[in-house]
Amino acid sequence: MKKTAKILGFTLSIALSHGALAADDLSASMLEDLGEQTSIATRTKLRVDYAPGTITILHSDDLMTQGARSVWEALALVPGFEQSMDETGTRQIIVRGVGKSYSSGAIKILVNDIALNSELMSLANPVLNMPMEQVERIEVIRGPGSAMYGESAYMGVVNVITRKQGQRLFAGTGKGGVLAGGGVMSFENAETGLNFNLNLAGWKAQGGGQAGQDQLYADGQGALSHAPGPINDKMEYRSALFGINYRKFSLSALWLEDGTGDHYGINNVLPPDEKRIVTRQRHRALELKQTVEFAPALQAEFKLGWQDFSHVRDRLYLSPGAAYDPAIDAPVWLSRDYRETRFTAGADLAWEQGQHTALLGWSINSVEIDSASWNWNYPYYDIGPSFIDTRMKRTVNSFTAQDEFRVSQHFTLTAGLRHDRYDDIGNSTTPRLAAVWQMAPRHILKAQYAEAFRAPTFYELNNGGQPADIRPETVATTELGYLYKGAGSSGGITLFRSDLKNLIVFIDSDAYTGYGNSNGAMSQGVELEGEHWVTTNLKFSGNLTWLDTRDASTRQPIPGAGHWLANAGLEYRASRDLAFAIRLREVGTRSREVGDARNTLGGYNVTDISARLFNVAGTRGLTLRAGIRNVFDQDVRYPAMSMQQGLYPDDYPRGTRQWWTMMSYSF
């Protein structure tokens, strides 16, 4: 642990140094990065380093050199972002300490600017399983984003931009029965302004994880358990993304679906290792977009969209029947089928006048439940036809106003306000005020105050068919950041504090079982990040996050999140066609919940290595990637939270060594 910490500290000190590199080609590359544009922060294009708030841009080519295989793995490289997983295998992203303890997602997830968080539980798990070969870049807001994106943009926003150009085929394999494949096809006619693209991918894995003793042992029924033993962690993913553009009109369509086994069991009772898909989630979306330019400084964008989301569970294992009644020989299982449909429409009007760029926006979002049926095979209790009220629906009218005021050539103020009017839970208003000051040619100072909210989901409002009176979660965040961009070095530091109120938590007491609001929590910390080119072919990069969290009710740290996080990487270009990378990931100790008698969950450190060979065997466009994750087979465990119906005393082990390889051909 101490040795790893020293390596991380050395990497960060190099990355944050102000040394210059004499190589002309590298200087040009860094200047291009300084001019990279994004619209994620304001919905108007700005250079990344001059956009308000804390922005991270991850490029697919860099991620693939570093060995990232999916969006979920890539997000672990973002300062303040931590991976976790629940008992049924659902991916979780913890942002600045928030996300594990609470019932639903803390970030807004978009694909090509289309928001996909479901109303059921505010999640979009299939996006996290998207392979890197489908991705062009990932744009991330660290911190509140509701002033632009409304609900669910609570602790962050992730926008996955997929590949839309070129022709590419790929295939891969790896440990655990991994098989993957897909391709990108595109066509463009510059004379007519017509272009279209198709992006396909799929992968599957048999798994191979192991579990220790489960809840049955704690209940004195260990003889009935399948634990210790293998978990059913089979996984699947498939997707199709299509886009067509004609001048200022575009049509985007997507279909994302993933499936997983029941892993450690919904009740923390280990299911039999049947190696079958138990849970499937599917997102389908269609969006039409038209841009109208009234004048060079005045333009509008109109959107119309449709989505549907389904979450299906097929015989989800609950427990051996004998645990309920010794006369029942068969296992008790639960099946569930949920579907929702969403319609959206909206318009943004952007006007640039003098030192001001104003944005006015309106949108309407209407969601209703198509079905929410369930059944189980326990003979002594009728659970009814549906697990929530299928009459539930939600319509949200949203209004956005923003002004970017360029006080001078080097100083910009951005003020924004969004009002969301719900027909079922009331209204939310979220402001933002941000300043960006270029103190010197390569030195930038940022400050921001922003608020955000997360509306209670359908599941939280009507868990078990009982209506609940729940208010939206809110957060107020203050950030202060400094950025440096040199010819061969770049770095930054961000200080933040977030005050969270009305957190939606699961309550299990004699008086009430279901979801409700807690008093709130606090999260504050420091994020350091940077990179340094030692030579034209050797680069250090890394980041370090220190977190201090506190639950207002218990006065204890927020359970489940690491107190500090770190990444350190070294990339070496051995030649024009060959690159190597080594990356270290460290997660600090994680606190337990109040009343949990187990020791604090220890941290872990993981070392990954990868290589990338271009133009294999002299074939132009043929690329081979390969790597080993967790080279030293370190013990990685995600916390089993005691707020669930049961728990694993040894948590959820995830730390096995894995090899993988991927071949792609661009033509």
Q: What percentage of the chain carries pLDDT values higher than 90?
A: 76
**Sequence-separated contacts (24+) of 346-352 with Cβ below 8 Å:** 346/302, 346/303, 346/398, 347/300, 347/301, 347/302, 347/303, 348/43, 348/300, 348/301, 348/400, 349/298, 349/299, 349/300, 350/43, 350/44, 350/298, 350/299, 350/300, 350/301, 351/297, 351/298, 352/297, 352/298
**Residue 317 pLDDT exceeds 70:** yes
**Residue 287 pLDDT exceeds 80:** yes
At 530-571, the pLDDT tens digits run 999 999 999 999 999 999 999 998 889 988 888 999 999 999
Strand-pair partners of 226:
none
- What percent of the residues of the chain are helix, what percent strand, and what percent coil, each to the nearest 5? 10, 55, 35
What whole-number distance in Å separates Cα of residue 509 and Cα of residue 646? 14
Under the banding of pLDDT at 50, 70 and 90, the label for residue 507 is: confident
pLDDT value at residue 17: 39
Beta strands (DSSP E) in 466-519 are 473-485, 489-501, 504-508, 513-517
Listed ranges 267-271, 410-414, 485-489; the one with the highest mean pLDDT: 410-414
**Residue 605 pLDDT exceeds 90:** yes
**What integer is the mean pLDDT of 179-192?**
95
CA angle, residues 378, 380, 383, in degrees to nearest 5? 70
Under the banding of pLDDT at 50, 70 and 90, the label for residue 420 is: very high
At 424-470, the pLDDT tens digits run 999 999 999 999 999 999 999 999 999 999 999 999 988 655 566 88
pLDDT value at residue 598: 85
**Residue 613 pLDDT exceeds 90:** yes
CA-nearest of 176, 134, 140, 135 to 155 is 140
pLDDT value at residue 45: 86
Q: Which two tokens stand for residue 456?
A: 């209670």
CA-nearest of 554, 566, 465 to 101 is 554
**What integer is the mean pLDDT of 332-338?**
96
* Helix count and strand count (H, E) for the chain: 8, 37
Strand-pair partners of 547:
525
What whole-number distance in Å separates Cα of residue 12 and Cα of residue 540? 8
The domains located in the chain, with CATH, are 2-666 (2.40.170.20)
Under the banding of pLDDT at 50, 70 and 90, the label for residue 3 is: very low
pLDDT value at residue 284: 98
Task: Please name the residues in contact with 306: beta carbons below 8 A apart, sequence gap of 6 or more.
Answer: 285, 286, 287, 341, 342, 343, 344
pLDDT value at residue 27: 36
Under the banding of pLDDT at 50, 70 and 90, the label for residue 218 is: confident
Under the banding of pLDDT at 50, 70 and 90, the label for residue 646 is: low
Paired sense of beta strands 235-246 and 249-260, if any: antiparallel
**Residue 644 pLDDT exceeds 50:** no
pLDDT value at residue 5: 44
What whole-number distance in Å separates Cα of residue 520 and Cα of residue 522? 7
251, 288 in Cβ contact below 8 A?
yes
Of 593 and 59, the one with more pLDDT: 59
284, 307 in Cβ contact below 8 A?
yes
pTM: 0.92
313 backbone φψ class: left, alpha, beta (φ>0; ψ -120 to 50) = beta
Average pLDDT, the chain: 90
pLDDT value at residue 518: 86
611, 580 in Cβ contact below 8 A?
yes
**What integer is the mean pLDDT of 216-221?**
90
Q: What DSSP string runs through 12-30? A: HHHHTS------HHHHHHH
**What integer is the mean pLDDT of 586-595?**
89
**Residue 18 pLDDT exceeds 50:** no
pLDDT value at residue 595: 80
pLDDT value at residue 82: 93
Of 480 and 379, the one with more pLDDT: 480
Of 208 and 21, the one with more pLDDT: 208
**Residue 292 pLDDT exceeds 50:** yes
Query: Whole-angstrom distance between the N-terminal and C-terminal Cα of the chain?
Result: 45
What whole-number distance in Å separates Cα of residue 115 and Cα of residue 151? 10
pLDDT value at residue 48: 87
* Overall size of the chain counted in residues: 667
